[in-house]
Chains A and B, each alone.
Chain A
Amino acid sequence: QKEVEQNSGPLSVPEGAIASLNCTYSDRGSQSFFWYRQYSGKSPELIMFIYSNGDKEDGRFTAQLNKASQYVSLLIRDSQPSDSATYLCAVIAAGSQGNLIFGKGTKLSVKP
């Protein structure tokens, strides 16, 4: 069973701080990695995807991928109360027919 693991949280950070969200995956052959944000009762929306080892930055968001250690992380700089949501990590594992496997999500709370 290919798995994606996330700490369920809640992760609480003060406004303006850096929020660090982590995700580990079991399948070493995984190739594509995604971070989705989901507000309560709403649909997930893509924040970033990353395919290669290293960092990928987009505005206040940075995704970090380390395939050797099988983890992917998301950093949110200058966190805002509007960032309060559940963050879902998803992975396309080898042999999954391209289907995304989702973690259960980490709930982030940014306190003003």
Chain B
Amino acid sequence: DADVTQTPRNRITKTGKRIMLECSQTKGHDRMYWYRQDPGLGLQLIYYSFDVKDINKGEISDGYSVSRQAQAKFSLSLESAIPNQTALYFCATKDLYTGELFFGEGSRLTVL
């Protein structure tokens, strides 16, 4: 099993719908991240969490919200999806000693 698991892996939805992407990890890392990737734009940080009580906005947080339900779980919500939120979304955890990020397999979201 993957150390960082994302569900769903693929989702097609309609404009205005609420969507939740879930992430769980077995690496025991405190820090968790949500990134968005668009073709040619690299990885953009949406939200990050240093622990259950510490959640921070990234560079593109508008239109998104998150919840850190436990050390192992970090979910991303789109309250009212719009087409320009169509993208590949990655959850990641961080090893504090090396700085390395460990990514989930990604969730491809299409908003029609």
Seen from chain A, the residues whose Cβ lies within 8 Å of a Cβ on chain B are 8, 32, 34, 41-46, 49, 88, 90, 92, 97-100, 102-105
Contact = CB atoms under 8 A, between A and B. Distances in A.
B94 A98 contact: yes
A102 B44 CA distance: 8
A42 B101 CA distance: 15
Q: Is the interface of B mostly helix, strand, loop or mixed?
A: strand
B56 A44 contact: no
Given A34-B100, A49-B98, A49-B100, A42 B40 contact: no
Nearest to B90: A43
A94 to B, nearest CB: 13
Interface of B: 31, 33, 40-43, 45, 48, 56, 58, 88, 90, 94, 96, 98-101, 103-106, 108
Given A42-B105, A102-B42, A103-B42, 5 more contacts: A43-B103, A43-B106, A44-B101, A45-B103, A98-B99
B40 A34 contact: no
A100 B99 contact: yes
A32 to B, nearest CB: 5
A101 B41 CA distance: 12
Given A42-B105, A92-B99, A99 B40 contact: no
Given A43-B90, A99-B45, A104 B103 contact: no
A50 B69 CA distance: 33
Contacts of A41: 88, 106, 108
Contacts of B101: 34, 44, 46, 90, 100
Contacts of A46: 100-101
B57 to A, nearest CB: 11
Give the 7 A-B residue pairs with the shortest CB-CB distance, closest first: A104-B42, A43-B103, A102-B43, A32-B99, A102-B42, A43-B106, A46-B100
